[in-house]
A and B are shown apart, each in its own frame.
Chain A
Amino acid sequence: MSNREKMPEWITRYNDNDLAGDELHLFLEMLEKNPSLKVEVGLDKELNEALADDDIIEFRRKIIASGNPKIRQSQLPRKLMLVAATLILMLIFELLLNHLCSRTESKGKESSEVSRICPKNGSGNDKQRNGLKVSQSLKPDGGRLLISSVKVPVNRIKLASNLIPDPQLEGLVGSNVRSFYFKLLSPSGVTHFSMKDTIRLSWEPDLEKPIKLIVTDNHGICVFETEKEMTNRIFFRASQFHSGLFYFKIIGNDDLLYLGKFYIE
């Protein structure tokens, strides 16, 4: 066994006055040279003194035993308060969400009326964009209709209500109305587009009459409108919409030829 390995034993024996002869001589030499050994010897001595008072150790044991439940008790209300605070926050968040949803729904109801006039007024307010006419939606403001950009309000973008289907339109999706000859080629079925995609609508046969395409969101608000003549396809970019569910109406001679829907993610 090396001197280093013997050290804990030597420290104890030194403090117990049990070290003698060569061992004591060597230990004292090391003690002079090594300050950390001095600390350890001091620690051992203090330990012996501290542990000698059995009465105080017993009292300490009782303090710890009595103190811990107290500490637990004092921490329990803190935990309860944290849980309560979390619940309150969740409740506030839910109320806020409900409030926002109801606001969006009421806006949607107001705007559904607007969207009905959107195609009619759209021609007067249209802007040319990428070869397509882009409509401008109308907003009621104190009984006065104001013209605003086609962009959908930001507060609606973040809501899951953008994906709630319109019960009135849902029943008509995919059905040909007053146009048994009309067949939509693309998109086939309900398609999910990403923001990068170009949405291509194509159909057959080529229609000689002017075709109007109206895209509304799930709240019935007109977000896109275009009119083309002698065509069997229309392209437009998905990036101009927010994410959510959209319905598109293909109208010819004021007759609804086809109603479909798509999602933008």
Chain B
Amino acid sequence: MEFYSDEEILKGLSSKDPVCIRHLYREYFPVTKSIVERNSGNYEDAEDVFQDGLIVLYQKVRDGKMLLNCSLKTYFYSICWKLWMQRLDRKWRLLYQDRFVHEPVEDYEAKEGDPDEYKLERTRLYHLHFLSLPEDCQKVLKLFICKTSLKNIAMIMGFRDESYAKTRKYLCKNMLRKRILKDPRCKFLF
């Protein structure tokens, strides 16, 4: 098995290197899994937390906010721990809000600077459904979000005119909205 130093991992992460991501999955996922499964979660929860943890790590590396004063594994562990504790806290609140006064999970209270797990969860859901759309729909939506003009979109996508490009945009956005709202996870998010 290949060994990567923390610096190499961070470098690979910033360039979205698939080898680095696979290495992280192999080496770091068991840690996340143990946190989640030891604290009322299941395998799927662990996968979600791991993905969100990687996104947080990537954002920190990309934005230059990474201050590493311990091993990367420990740092990643703390991100996943915080994410899972916040998520558990929110789930408990959702489940028992009317039954008894909420007590924070294992004395965990979110602090300033902690990752916003609620936003991360919603974003993950949006991304997953976006990536499940047909390729041309993804492309049209990306172009619209990047404020590309209708004329250019029609030209890039090979549509007959601007009005058809507009219709396609609405259709694709609507398909995405419907898929998200149909997702059973969505009811805990809005």
Contacts and interface: CB of A to CB of B under 8 A. Distances in A.
Interface of A: 8-9, 12, 39-40, 42-44, 46-48, 50-52, 54-67, 69-71
Given A51-B126, A63-B51, A8 B177 contact: yes
Task: Report which residue of A42, A62, A69 has the largest number of chain B beta carbons within 10 angstroms of its beta carbon.
Answer: A62
B177 A44 contact: yes
A65 B177 contact: no
A47 B25 CA distance: 27
B177 A66 contact: no
Contacts of A50: 122-123, 126-127, 130
A71 B30 CA distance: 12
Contact of A63 (B21, B130, B142): B21
Contacts of B36: none
Contacts of B127: 50, 56-57, 60
7 contacts: A47-B126, A51-B126, A52-B145, A57-B130, A59-B16, A61-B131, A66-B22
Contacts of B131: 57, 60-61, 64
A78 to B, nearest CB: 10
B51 A67 contact: yes
Contacts of B22: 66, 69-70
Contacts of B188: none
Given A56-B58, A58-B16, A60-B55, A70 B174 contact: no
B122 A62 contact: no
Q: Please classify the interface of chain A as helix (H, G, I), strand (E, B), loop, or mixed, using the class held by over half of its residues.
A: helix
Contact of B21 (A8, A42, A55, A62): A62
Q: Please classify the interface of chain B as helix (H, G, I), strand (E, B), loop, or mixed, using the class held by over half of its residues.
A: helix
B18 A43 contact: no
Contacts of B54: 59, 63
Given A47-B126, A62-B16, 6 more contacts: A8-B170, A48-B145, A50-B122, A52-B146, A54-B142, A57-B127
A42 B22 CA distance: 35
**CB-CB nearest 4 A-B residue pairs:** A66-B21, A50-B126, A70-B25, A66-B22
B131 to A, nearest CB: 6
B29 interface: yes
A70 B177 contact: no
A195 B53 CA distance: 69
B177 A40 contact: yes
B11 interface: no
A70 B29 contact: yes
Interface in B148-189: 169-170, 173-174, 176-177, 180-181
Contacts of B123: 46, 50, 56
B190 interface: yes
